[in-house]
Amino acid sequence: MDTLPNSTKLEYSTDEKYMLRCIEIAKNGIGSTAPNPSVGAVIVHKDRIIGEGYTSAYGGSHAEVNAINSVKDKSLLSKSTLYVTAEPCSHFGKTPPCANLIVENKIPKVVIGLQDPHEKVAGKGIEILRNSGVPYSLEY
């Protein structure tokens, strides 16, 4: 349960709680990621954040890569949930596709804040996850 400054108590679902954290850390990239969006990602194992990341300055790593790299015990990735504010990318640009990295790391569940409207992604990242058998939700 989180408390706002005016003492109003709000109850969030687990997914909402971690997506709010993604949004909070995505703010760290604002102003340096253009033309890419500033995205946030957290990795959760047994209701505990074990990794998080946001989009690096343009040309650098995406949020999902930074979150995965921040996890100390990589064996936990295959038992964790990845939360990310935007659909994982699906194309090679300055960096390889994040959707493929998720599949390679055997992350068993992904919660996505929004589908990426960019023509090079636009559902293709979700398609990679689906075709690889990775359960995902797109609810926000």
pLDDT digits (tens, 9 = 90+) for 54-68: 999 888 889 999 999
Cβ-Cβ contacts under 8 Å for 72 (sequence gap 6 or more): 50
User: 0.75 exceeded by the pTM?
Assistant: yes
- Measured from the Cβ of residue 107, the count of other Cβ atoms closer than 10 Å reads 21
Please answer whether residues 55 and 86 qualify as being in contact, where contact means their C-beta atoms are separated by less than 8 angstroms. Answer: no
Closest CA to 111 of 68, 79, 82, 131: 82
What tens digit of pLDDT does each residue of 81-104 get? 999 999 998 877 777 889 999 999
> pLDDT band for position 9 (50/70/90)?
low
Please answer whether residues 44 and 50 qualify as being in contact, where contact means their C-beta atoms are separated by less than 8 angstroms. Answer: yes
User: Residues 35-45: what's their mean pLDDT?
Assistant: 93
E strands in 1-140: 2-3, 9-10, 40-45, 48-54, 81-84, 109-112, 136-138
Residue 14's pLDDT is 87
Catalytic status, residue 64? yes
pLDDT at residue 1 is higher than 50 = no
Catalytic hit among 11, 16, 24, 64: 64
Instruction: Find where tokens 């954040």 sit.
Output: 49
